[in-house]
Structure 1
Amino acid sequence: MSTDFQKARVSLGARLRELRVSGPRGPLTGPQLAARLHWPHSKIYKLENGRQTATVTDLQAWAEATGQPEAAAELRAHLKGIESHIRSWRRQLAAGHKPVQDHITAEHAGTRTLRIWENCVIAGMVQTADYARAVFGRHADLMQSPRDTEAAVRARVQRQEGLYDPARRYEILMWEGALLARVCPPAVLAAQLDRLLGVIGLDTVQLGIVPFSALLKIPPGNGFWMYDERLVVVEDWHAEVWLEDADAIGTYQRVWRTLRESAVFGADAQRIIHEARRTLDGR
């Protein structure tokens, strides 16, 4: 995935270089263009060699500075193609977490079966408001992004109304470590685990836990969400990866089925959640 992303960035860089040397008033050197744009020369080098991802503003300025403003639309389309797959947190969180939640809510609206794998946190679809608040706050600190925590929490909790829609189905798998991770105060985690016990009773939800003791056929890698059979969203520290091609989706379907083989459900899942809950009571 990262290789495809890099190839796309290099391709965009090559187009930028082409615009620089084919302007209507003659070619520009890198330093000349940098001077026009009031950029360091290193930025020209990085963009043309696929070492840095341009912003929409960068592309507009480049097209105008090379005397070819009509090329801006083409460049924006190229960038959109890159970002449709690799969506960096830096860009996504420029205005806070709420716009990200709104975007994902739009995907939920057209989804009938949502499959979720989480290895280190409780899945967002079943988070309590206090747990979500803690997660958003810590992520904002890490990413140094604007704090719109309350708006993001409201958006996430509102999306959970789908859990009560009989036309929808949620298949959620979590590693046991997600039940124990202290990403929030113990009292908040205790209430979150109580919430999970209630979710198991919903007829729209199938909640499975992969125990520490389970034989794993594959490692419990990054969290991902599968929207029907049309989209997979994979989370990493630097970005989300949005996958729509059939081969990639097929891979994650196999990953899902393989992880599911190691999961327990129903009473066995409840027992594991109860055990995690007891660790918070000190018993």
Structure 2
Amino acid sequence: MSTDFQRARQALGSRLRELRTEGSLTGRELAIRCGWPHSKISKLENGRQTATTEDLALWAEACGSPQTAEELHRRLSGLETHVQSRRRQLAGGHSALQEQSVLEYRETTTIRAYEATVIPGLFQTPDYARCLLVQNAELHQTPKDTEAAVRARMRRQEALYEPGKRYRVILWEGALHALSCPAEVLGGQLDRLAGIIGLDTVELGIIPLGAAMSITPKHGFWIFDEALVRVETMSTELRIDEPADVALYGRAWDRLHAAALHGPEAHRLLARVRHSLLAA
């Protein structure tokens, strides 16, 4: 969890404690009024649990300060700008999240990205995307609006053909071998990557297995116009905009870029992986 997020959550907790004491309530009394276990009061006040909008409204009402609910909601919105629950994002299915990404990509001029385990959505074929979206819906137990999500993901790829855009993406070779879909689907996906290398807007680098590296990144990340970094975990999306942190990810990307193959060398690597897939 990011330090900035935790500090913001602790600050919200302090404000909640302040409202409780102003209402002359003990933690146990407030818990009874809200119908919660006493432990929840402690967790919220000490920044060990993230409140929901419903929690905040009930807290303000129980403390006799319903007028503070809007203020608390603003604090929560600022906190969630940086860390967003995947469960909440996907509550209505994957298509809405994909549509949001379409808008974000349209508003971005330059993206630098690194992925180690999966082909990025920006480069995916419909069949490859479909396999991953079905798997994610099952994992997160969210609505299976797969076809709508696939269509939205394909619309996002229209940005690849817009003049003035620049997509500088680095993949680890392991992502090219992962059979998260049938072999024939992966084969089509590798062909798609080979075709993308020729686009004017795309710079695709592949770090081969066994390459000498000066950094071992722990996760994939996307840098938007050198102003925002997005990192996805299993359950959370981090949105990092602190300049020093953005610069840190930029330096990490530079080191990964130095270890990657580009142009004809990347093309030959893709061909080798494609050949090994057919021979299996």
Shared fold per TM-score greater than 0.5? yes
What RMSD over aligned residues (CA atoms) do the two structures have, in Å?
1.4
What residue number does 2:21 align with? 21
For the 8 Å contact 1:119–1:220, the answer to whether it is kept is: no
How many Å apart are 1:156 and its aligned residue? 1.0
How many Å apart are 1:39 and its aligned residue? 2.1
- Aligned with 2:58 (options 48, 58, 61): 61
- Aligned with 2:266 (options 264, 269, 279): 269
- Give me the whole-angstrom Cα distance separating, in 2, the residues matched to 1:231 and 1:45: 33
Q: Over residues 157-180 of structure 1, what are the superposed CA-to-partner deviations in whole Å (9 max), with x where a residue is unaligned? A: 101001111121111110000101
How many Å apart are 1:64 and its aligned residue? 1.5
For the 8 Å contact 1:119–1:221, the answer to whether it is kept is: no
What residue number does 1:282 align with? 279
What residue number does 1:218 align with? 215
What residue number does 2:3 align with? 3
How many Å apart are 1:274 and its aligned residue? 1.1
Q: Over residues 173-232 of structure 1, what are the superposed CA-to-partner deviations in whole Å (9 max), with x where a residue is unaligned? A: 100001011111111111101111111111111111011131111014311111111111
TM-score, structure 1 as length reference: 0.94
Letter in 2 for 1:9: R
How many Å apart are 1:68 and its aligned residue? 0.9
TM-score, structure 2 as length reference: 0.95
Letter in 2 for 1:3: T
Secondary structure at 2:259's aligned position in 1? coil
How many Å apart are 1:3 and its aligned residue? 2.6
Q: Over residues 38-80 of structure 1, what are the superposed CA-to-partner deviations in whole Å (9 max), with x where a residue is unaligned? A: 2222222221121210111111121112111111111111111
- Structure 1 gaps of 5+ residues are none
For the 8 Å contact 2:101–2:156, the answer to whether it is kept is: no
- Of 2-11 and 250-259, deviating more is 2-11
- Aligned with 1:120 (options 94, 117, 122): 117
What residue number does 2:204 align with? 207
What residue number does 2:130 align with? 133
How many Å apart are 1:251 and its aligned residue? 0.5
Secondary structure at 2:218's aligned position in 1? coil
- Of 147-156 and 248-257, deviating more is 147-156
Alignment of 1:249-264 (within 5 A): 249-264=246-261
Q: Over residues 96-151 of structure 1, what are the superposed CA-to-partner deviations in whole Å (9 max), with x where a residue is unaligned? A: 22222222222212111111210110011000111111112222222222222222
- Give me the whole-angstrom Cα distance separating, in 2, the residues matched to 1:61 and 1:128: 46
- Structure 2 gaps of 5+ residues are none
For the 8 Å contact 2:102–2:155, the answer to whether it is kept is: no
Q: Over residues 236-259 of structure 1, what are the superposed CA-to-partner deviations in whole Å (9 max), with x where a residue is unaligned? A: 222111011211110111011110
Q: How many residues align?
A: 280
What residue number does 2:184 align with? 187
| Identity fraction in percent | 52
- Give me the whole-angstrom Cα distance separating, in 2, the residues matched to 1:122 and 1:191: 12
- Aligned with 2:98 (options 76, 101, 108): 101
For the 8 Å contact 1:13–1:49, the answer to whether it is kept is: yes
How many Å apart are 1:153 and its aligned residue? 1.3
Secondary structure at 1:7's aligned position in 2? helix
- Give me the whole-angstrom Cα distance separating, in 2, the residues matched to 1:185 and 1:36: 54
For the 8 Å contact 1:190–1:280, the answer to whether it is kept is: yes
Secondary structure at 1:39's aligned position in 2? coil
- Give me the whole-angstrom Cα distance separating, in 2, the residues matched to 1:145 and 1:47: 27
- Give me the whole-angstrom Cα distance separating, in 1, the residues matched to 2:156 and 2:213: 32
